[in-house]
Amino acid sequence: MMYETANLKEVPAIFENNIKEVMQRSFDAFTLFKKITPGKRASFLETIADEIEKLREQLVPVTNEETNLPSARLNGELTRTTSQLKMFATLIKEGSWVEASIDTADNNRTPSKPDIRKMLVPVGPVIVFGASNFPFAFSTAGGDTASALASGSSVVIKGHSAHAKTSELIFTAIKKAIEISGIPEYTVQQVMGSGNTVGKALVMHPHAKGVGFTGSFTGGKALVEYSNQREIPIPVFAEMSSINPVVFYPDTIEKNTEALATMYAASITLGVGQFCTNPGILLGIKSKSFNNFLSALGNEITKAQPQKMLHSGICSSYKKGVAEMLTQQGLEVIAQSSSEAKDMEAVALVASVNAKDFLSNKHFTEEVFGPYSLTIICDDKEKLKQCLQNLKGQLTSTIMATDKDIKDFADVIELQHTLAGRVLLNNAPTGVEVCASMVHGGPYPATTDARFTSVGTTAIKRWVRPICLQNFNDNMLPDELKNNNPLSILRLVDNVHTREALKV
Ligand code: NAP
């Protein structure tokens, strides 16, 4: 069947034709799919979730084999993935997400005011790059695919080679859902192959209208560059690099030394540190309590067993990243896992540096993807502020503080707000809730566009544009903007939010 995962051979002529065909089919499917009612689109998303659920028993061992992620984690991630699909189904069934707005005509005004209506519409074929560290939740049927389909866009997935079998299996569930739901055949397609060739060709194709990516800074930056080389550039929503600073304020460090050390050792080593929200930088003000915290953290890290990483590439990047850090002037190792690492296993490591050395060397602000964290010891509040100002954009910024700290360090806390898309108080940054209020995004280089999130219902906003319809007849308007509001959605009518029909 044409819609089966295409494993594109990199013979240039055939390859180019294949991509052309894939993108043409995606464009044709989009012209039909965007007209499908929200109810039918929602039921398609629910069917994908159901079909994935049916594959659970088969999927988890395959993905475990491919990624080294434990079954418990994979089962949880699978549930998150199906819930995510259902969450978008609920969103589009309710319908108000399209931000319909109506400004009625006023013929008594001089000059007369026309009838003006606005809503969000899908942009069209979206290219999704599967991420290696979330084989379900950020891959073939993950958040980017779910949000793009919910918007009414067709999707072409560039599957991740590190879990090719998983990608293939998940895609069979999508195909089944396409058949059951009577959705245009090529609404979702998946291609496997190298990013540099297949991925580039997809992004460069004129029919591509948006890109979703989670991975390395180099990868995300390359996609933006491809987009800029196009005759008509397109938005690239890349989630790339974040070291997620955590500030431990003095009063909480003194009162909760051991508990904070246990909590953060667990967060640093969770999932072998392979989370984009891993706490990579821990900051505090020099004191006896902060020293005690560092030794307690060190004790916990020593006990952490080395574990297998997702794939050999990530493991060698981690080892190289740590080795490079260890050569930087001023860095001291606090502790590392005491057990020897076997093949593809990562040793957890925490190190420290004083604020002066940190501020003089940009390398300390680079991400080392894995169970590594750097502690910055600041002489005083001013140095702490300088260190925070020295950081690039982040996904998260965490405040570990008592009420006294919150009062004493209000200016530093305010500074923490400027750094990231999500600011946390007395929680660990690992663990990203999928909900309407989530922001999984942040200033560059955490992402390419801090105005958007890749997790939660508002992730749909990446795949739409507003359209304004002026002076249209009622029968020409989409249901969302019709006078009688047939979908009963919440609309802004003459600047008032209402579900009422228009009185005409
Ligand atoms: P990656 O190397 O960025 O790859 C992700 C996807 O993008 C793959 O499909 C890859 O294709 C494609 N790609 C990479 N470079 C490209 C380019 N120049 N042009 C077109 N496509 C390109 O990420 P990864 O494989 O998941 O892990 C590698 C490193 O990324 C890790 O060691 C870590 O440092 C970082 N990472 C960060 C996060 C985060 O959330 N911050 C998450 C995961 C990984 P191929 O199939 O050809 O590789």
For residue 219, pLDDT over 70 is answered with yes
Contact 278, 268 (CB under 8 A): yes
Q: Give the distance (Å) from ligand 1 centre to CA of residue 215.
A: 4
> What mean pLDDT comes out for the span 195-224?
97
Q: Give the distance (Å) from ligand 1 centre to CA of residue 73.
A: 21
- Is there an atom of ligand 1 within 6 Å of 131 CB? yes
Sheet hosting strand 155-158, strand order edge to edge: 6-7, 188-192, 155-158, 126-129, 210-214, 236-239
CA-CA distance, 92 to 41, in Å (whole number)? 8
Residue 481: partners with Cβ closer than 8 Å, 6 or more residues away: 100, 102, 117, 119, 469, 472, 491
For the stretch 240-269, pLDDT in tens is 999 999 999 999 999 999 999 999 999 999
For residue 366, what is the DSSP state? S
SS (H, E, C) 36-87: CCHHHHHHHHHHHHHHHHHCHHHHHHHHHHHHCCCHHHHHHHHHHHHHHHHH
Work out which ligand 1 atom sits closest to the CA atom of 220. Answer: 3
The residue among 185, 294, 202, 182 whose CA lies nearest residue 248 is 294
CA-CA distance, 5 to 168, in Å (whole number)? 7
Q: Which helix (H) or strand (E) holds 188?
A: strand 188-192
Q: Give the distance (Å) from ligand 1 centre to CA of residue 170.
A: 20
pLDDT of residue 1: 37
Cα angle, residue 295 at apex, residues 292 and 298 outer, rounded to 5°: 150
Query: What is the per-residue DSSP string for 124-182?
Result: S-EEEEPPSS-TTTTSTTSHHHHHHHHHT--EEEE--GGGHHHHHHHHHHHHHHHHHHT
21 is catalytic: no
The residue among 80, 86, 85, 174 whose CA lies nearest residue 135 is 80
Work out which ligand 1 atom sits closest to the CA atom of 160. Answer: 9
Q: Give the distance (Å) from ligand 1 centre to CA of residue 141.
A: 18
- Is there an atom of ligand 1 within 6 Å of 68 CB? no
Ligand 1 pocket, mutate which of 216, 310, 312 (most atoms under 8 A from CB): 216
For the stretch 392-414, pLDDT in tens is 999 999 999 999 999 999 999 99
- Is there an atom of ligand 1 within 6 Å of 197 CB? no
> What mean pLDDT comes out for the span 349-378?
97
**pTM beyond cutoff 0.85:** yes
CA-CA distance, 249 to 255, in Å (whole number)? 11
* Alpha-carbon dihedral sign for residues 266, 272, 278, 282: positive
The two structure tokens encoding residue 58: 């088969």
CA-CA distance, 193 to 159, in Å (whole number)? 8
- Is there an atom of ligand 1 within 6 Å of 312 CB? no
- Is there an atom of ligand 1 within 6 Å of 395 CB? no
Residue 33: partners with Cβ closer than 8 Å, 6 or more residues away: 41, 152, 153, 154, 183, 184, 187
For residue 2, pLDDT over 80 is answered with no
The residue among 32, 41, 54, 16 whose CA lies nearest residue 185 is 32
pLDDT of residue 492: 98
For the stretch 4-51, pLDDT in tens is 566 665 555 667 779 999 999 999 999 999 999 999 999 999 999 999
The two structure tokens encoding residue 201: 């060709």
- Is there an atom of ligand 1 within 6 Å of 302 CB? no
Q: Of 46, 66, 77, 276, which one is the catalytic site residue?
A: 276
Q: What is the CA radius of gyration of the chain?
A: 25
Contact 128, 156 (CB under 8 A): yes
- Is there an atom of ligand 1 within 6 Å of 216 CB? yes
Q: How confident is the model at residue 503 (pLDDT cuts 50, 70, 90)?
A: confident
Q: How high does pLDDT run on average in the chain?
A: 96
> What mean pLDDT comes out for the span 62-67?
97
Q: Give the distance (Å) from ligand 1 centre to CA of residue 122.
A: 27
Contact 300, 265 (CB under 8 A): yes
Contact 469, 481 (CB under 8 A): yes
366 is catalytic: no
For the stretch 84-138, pLDDT in tens is 999 999 999 999 999 999 999 999 999 999 999 999 999 999 999 999 999 999 9
**Token pair 């420290």 is at which residue?**
352
> What mean pLDDT comes out for the span 317-339?
96
Q: Which helix (H) or strand (E) holds 398?
A: strand 394-400
pLDDT of residue 17: 75
For the stretch 280-296, pLDDT in tens is 999 999 999 999 999 99
pLDDT of residue 504: 81
Please name the residue whose Cα sits nearest to atom 23 of ligand 1.
215
- Is there an atom of ligand 1 within 6 Å of 316 CB? no
SS (H, E, C) 190-257: EEECCHHHHHHHHHHCCCCCEEEEECCHHHHHHHHHHHHHCCCCCCEEEECCCCCEEEECHHHHHHCH
